[in-house]
């Protein structure tokens, strides 16, 4: 394994892999520094607030929403971005659904205050596999999110942030809100609804909730029903956030010092990030190499620890902890088969032509879960496999492979 794997990593053409031990960033560098709870520049809510970064975001009010779990949101607003033009026939609309910590900014188009391109810039844009010169692409921020859509950091009718009072929302509720967005945009049926991971959960839910409104589906690195193993991992992430005293049960937005539960959120991301990468990659890439300038025998870290610290810290600086909790709970309760006679019965009701994609090294959303989706949807072809050393994150990293698969599927549609 080792030789072949190393060769594949080396041949992957990735711009950045672990630097030689002597040249990894010094401990004081942002890449080398441990999570520094008191140094966070973010306020108690790192959620987007109106006026922060208007960019090209638009908003739609989809009205009150009766929730699957019995509660009610009195007014739901979705933030979204669009690219391209809806044609006269109205048949070139594509809905792109982000994963847990994504947002509406999918393409490489620059936006104010964000140095990095959107999260699927290689897949969506002018001349890209989902060609915005041809398709009208719509990407909403999910219900419960923190990038402009109604979520726990939004202001409730009493003028205070929802915080701990934000109700449980299910994947079905999120899709109900997105149906409101489609209505508002005058889109009767989507040529394609595409998403990965948590976004893929909504893709499947679209197919089962509104089969007449989707002609094509692409469900990538996802599952029709959250497994016990996934719930277990999500549970530990929730526990990490909730154990942070600054979480305050979810009501931290008005913390006098302006600080939120960055430490807990960072730890949750570290737990999650490990599941986003493969064991093989972490071993091959980091192994037992100490972080530059640090000695693990004197309280220092191995490079992989520093790497996880970095990813935890980075998310904690850009994301709202309550949204992380709300969306994680949403994923925990995801079950396409609920009240539909079970998963297989629900999958059988999906009429859209469906592309199912798995990442072979994914240890979070297992390829077997993709197999189940493909076996259950009448219009699904065999599972297409992304071969990757990187695990679940392969859906973000392996742009060339995914692009080719999506291009082929769109041509068939």
Ligand X SMILES: CC(=O)SCCNC(=O)CCNC(=O)[C@H](O)C(C)(C)COP(=O)(O)OP(=O)(O)OC[C@H]1O[C@@H](n2cnc3c(N)ncnc32)[C@H](O)[C@@H]1OP(=O)(O)O
Ligand Y SMILES: N[C@@H](CCO)C(=O)O
Contact residues: ligand X, CB under 6 A: 16, 18, 24, 31-32, 98-99, 101-102, 119, 276, 291, 303, 306-307, 310-311, 314, 393, 396-397
Measured in degrees and rounded to the nearest 5, phi and psi for residue 282 equal -60, -35
Among 149, 310, 392, 393, which one carries the catalytic annotation?
392
User: How many helical (H) and strand (E) elements, i.e. helices and strands, does the chain have?
Assistant: 12, 10
CB of 166 to ligand X, least distance (A): 20
Handedness of CA 225, 229, 233, 236 (dihedral sign): positive
Q: From ligand Y, ligand X, none, which one binds at residue 314 (CB under 5 to 8 Å depending on kind)?
A: ligand X
Which residues are CB-contacts of 398 (< 8 A; sequence separation ≥ 6)?
Answer: 359, 386, 387, 388, 390
* Tokens representing residue 207 in the block: 């197919």
From residue 264 to residue 303, what is the string marking binding to ligand Y with x (rule CB under 6 A)?
------------x---------------------------
* Residues 6+ positions from 71 with CB-CB distance below 8 Å: 167, 168
Measured from the CB atom, the residue of 303 and 346 that comes closer to ligand X is 303
Q: Which stretch binds ligand Y (CB under 6 A): 81-89, 100-108, 153-161, 227-235?
A: 100-108
Q: Cβ–Cβ contacts within 10 Å for residue 105, how many?
A: 25
Helix (H) or strand (E) holding 74: strand 72-83
Q: Is 200 one of the binding residues for ligand Y (CB under 6 A)?
A: no
Rounded to whole angstroms, what are the CA distances from 6 to 115, 175, 280, 285?
A: 31, 42, 10, 9
Of these residues, 335, 362, 389, 393, which one is catalytic?
362
Question: What is the spatial distance between Cα 34 and Cα 308, in angstroms, rounded to a whole number?
Answer: 9
Continuous H helices in 65-197: 171-185
- For β-strands 58-66 and 72-83, DSSP reports them as antiparallel
DSSP 339-366: TTTSHHHHHHT--SEEEEEEETT-SSS-
Q: Which of 44, 78, 93, 99 binds ligand Y (CB under 6 A)?
A: 99
Active site residue 98: no
Structure tokens at 17: 């892999």
Q: CA–CA separation, 233 vs 226, rounded Å?
A: 11
Toward ligand Y, which CB reaches closer, 101 or 226?
101
**In angstroms, how far is CA 108 from the centroid of its own chain?**
17
Among residues 78, 86, 61, the alpha carbon closest in space to that of 189 is found at 86
Residue number, 92 or 149, with CB nearest to ligand Y: 149
Q: Which range binds ligand Y by CB under 6 A, 45-53, 94-102, 107-115, 159-167?
A: 94-102
CB of 197 to ligand Y, least distance (A): 3
CB-wise, 101 or 291, nearer to ligand Y? 101
Query: CA 374, 377, 327 angle in degrees (round to 5)?
Result: 80
Active site residue 183: no
Stretch that binds ligand Y, among 95-103, 212-220, 295-303, 403-411 (CB under 6 A): 95-103
Task: Confirm or reject binding of residue 323 to ligand Y (CB under 6 A).
Answer: no
Among 32, 55, 102, 216, the residue binding ligand Y under the rule CB under 6 A is: 102
Distance CA(20)–CA(115), nearest Å, equals: 26
Annotated catalytic residue 164: no
24's contact among ligand Y, ligand X, none, with CB below 5 to 8 A by partner kind, is ligand X
- When the beta carbons of 93 and 327 are compared against ligand Y, the nearer one is 327
CB of 71 to ligand X, least distance (A): 26
Judged by CB under 6 A, how many residues of this single chain contact ligand Y?
6
Catalytic residue among 104, 122, 149, 197: 197
If binding is defined by CB under 6 A, does position 197 make contact with ligand Y? yes
Nearest-approach distance from CB 393 to ligand X, in angstroms = 4
- Applying CB under 6 A, the residues found at the interface with ligand Y are 99-102, 197, 276
- Residues marked as catalytic: 197, 362, 392
């Amino acid at each position: 394994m080792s030789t072949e794997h190393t060769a594949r990593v080396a041949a992957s053409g990735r711009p950045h892999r672990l630097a030689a031990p002597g040249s990894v960033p010094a401990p004081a560098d942002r890449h080398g520094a441990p999570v520094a709870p008191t140094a966070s520049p973010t306020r108690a809510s790192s959620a987007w607030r109106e006026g922060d970064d208007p960019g090209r975001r638009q908003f739609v009010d989809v009205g009150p929403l009766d929730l699957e779990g019995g509660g009610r949101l009195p007014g739901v607003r979705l933030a979204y971005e669009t690219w391209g033009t809806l044609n006269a026939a109205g048949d070139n609309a594509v809905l792109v659904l982000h994963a847990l910590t994504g947002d509406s900014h999918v393409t490489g188009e620059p936006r104010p205050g964000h140095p990095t391109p959107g999260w699927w810039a290689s897949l969506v844009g002018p001349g890209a596999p989902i060609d915005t010169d041809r398709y009208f692409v719509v990407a909403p921020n999910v219900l419960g999110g923190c990038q402009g859509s109604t979520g726990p950091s939004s202001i409730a009718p009493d003028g205070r942030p929802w915080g701990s009072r934000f109700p449980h929302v299910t994947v079905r509720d999120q899709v109900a809100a997105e149906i409101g967005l489609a209505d508002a945009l005058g889109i009767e049926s989507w040529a394609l609804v595409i998403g990965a991971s948590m976004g893929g959960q909504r893709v499947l839910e679209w197919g089962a909730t509104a089969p007449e409104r989707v002609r094509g589906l692409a469900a990538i690195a996802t599952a029709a029903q959250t497994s016990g193993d996934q719930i277990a991992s999500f549970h530990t992430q929730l526990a990490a956030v909730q154990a942070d005293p600054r979480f305050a049960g979810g009501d931290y937005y008005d913390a006098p010092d302006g600080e939120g539960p960055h430490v807990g959120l960072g730890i949750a991301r570290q737990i999650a990030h490990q599941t986003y990468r493969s064991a093989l990659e972490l071993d091959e890439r980091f192994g037992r190499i100490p972080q530059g300038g640090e000695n693990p025998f004197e309280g220092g870290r191995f490079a992989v620890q520093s790497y996880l610290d970095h990813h935890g810290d980075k998310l904690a600086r850009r994301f709202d902890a309550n949204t992380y909790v709300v969306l994680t709970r949403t994923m925990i309760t995801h079950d396409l088969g609920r009240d539909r006679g079970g998963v297989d019965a629900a999958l059988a009701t999906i009429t859209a032509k469906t592309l199912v994609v798995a990442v072979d090294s994914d240890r979070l959303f297992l390829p077997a879960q993709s197999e189940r989706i493909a076996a259950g949807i009448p219009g699904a072809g065999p599972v297409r496999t992304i071969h990757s050393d990187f695990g679940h994150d392969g859906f973000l990293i392996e742009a060339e492979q995914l692009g080719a698969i999506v291009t082929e599927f769109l041509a068939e549609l």
